[in-house]
Amino acid sequence: MTELSRRLDTRDAVVVGLGAMLGAGVFASFAPAARAAGGWLPVALALAAVVAYCNATSSARLAAIYPQSGGTYVYGRERLGPFWGYLAGWTFVVGKTASCAAMALTFAAYAAPGYERPAGVAAVLALTALNYFGVQRSVQASRVIVAIVLIVLAAVVVTAATGPHAPNLGLGGEVHPLGILQAAGLLFFAFAGYARIATLGEEVRDPARTIPRAIAIALAIVLVVYALVAFAVLAALGPAGLAGTTAPLAEAAPAWLDPAVRAGAAVAALGALLALILGVSRTGFAMARDGFFPRALTAVHPRHGVPHRAELAVGLLVAVLVATVDLRGAIGFSSFGVLLYYAVANASAFTLPDRSKVVPVAGLAGCLLLAATLPWHSSLAGLVVVLAGVAWYMYSVRR
């Protein structure tokens, strides 16, 4: 059996997207972005949002035509050729596998300081088991996680924006275009969850309508939430204070709210990890069907209707990374891979007939620009991995 069951409606797909986007990134990405952009952080957030909108629009158009598991791996293969589809799938799987490990370590840092690795491994194995028993249970867990995170963020926004130190935003200052671009690239890491909706193309009902609608709704909600959070933490801390903290939302909130914020960060990391494992396993499943990964990963559980071997493989790989590798610097590497993934999506959307070319062109240019302005070590590591993927593709084609 290699076909998945269509069990998800629009609300379920929106929850999956929110669970992926409202992850640990919102609790951690504003501080390094403020160090790069200073008081121009809202401009960087707007730039990241524009690129995310272009990517989401291109992905939604393509998902309506190709409602299959795999997302841009499928779109690139069908619109540009097998190599470009493979490249998108490779960058997604590799980059998001590193993101899984980073989310697991983030959760453990908040929930079990001093025991990050064993706690992170336990979280990965538990969520892999949850995914194994069906996507509906994963959606139910994501629904609870999203509700908790939204409540925590709302409390932070209200208390930070109305506290005694507000509303001194300190916006503006000296303009550093490169700093704004770097900040946008870092903030994009927190937006890049809507791809998880497209990777579930074979598990949603009426995908031609459900996927574009779910992507638009999830992205709109996240844009509003991120904008409110950004202005709230700037009001509470100012650009310099925001740049100097490692836990901006906890610092911006009053002391009595600190435990709830830290618990919310841990829960958010779990939600992101759950959605990441879900998305990576589906892309790996699609690539295995085409022969780029072992055929054994194409198996679908006869009862639960999920690609259980692909899920187990992803979970075990992430667990090994969490136990052996320090991936706290993986955000830049992951962003590089994800930006290339969406560059292929925009290039694929450009080939669609009777469509405006402005959005895919803007999205493609934005992805390449943000990828090029990331820290050099992230770009270098990303290029090495891309070349390794190209070598594997050539070997697979010859075989």
Smallest CA-to-CA distance from 332 within 276, 292, 287, 372 is with: 372
Residue 360 confidence (pLDDT): 94
> Which tokens hold the place of 222?
């996240």
Residue 133 confidence (pLDDT): 66
CA 178 – CA 291 distance, rounded (Å): 41
Backbone angles phi, psi at 253, to 5 degrees: -85, 155
Residue 167 preceded by cis peptide, ω within 30: yes
Q: Which CATH class is domain 10-398?
A: mainly alpha
Q: Which residues, given as ranges, of the chain have pLDDT below 50?
A: 1, 167
Smallest CA-to-CA distance from 95 within 365, 341, 364, 363 is with: 341
CA 232 – CA 249 distance, rounded (Å): 9
Helices (H), 244-257: 248-252
Residue 258: burial class (beta carbons within 10 Å; 0-12, 13-18, 19+): middle
Residue 176 DSSP class = -
CA 95 – CA 340 distance, rounded (Å): 10
Domain boundaries, the chain: 10-398
Residue 1 confidence (pLDDT): 45
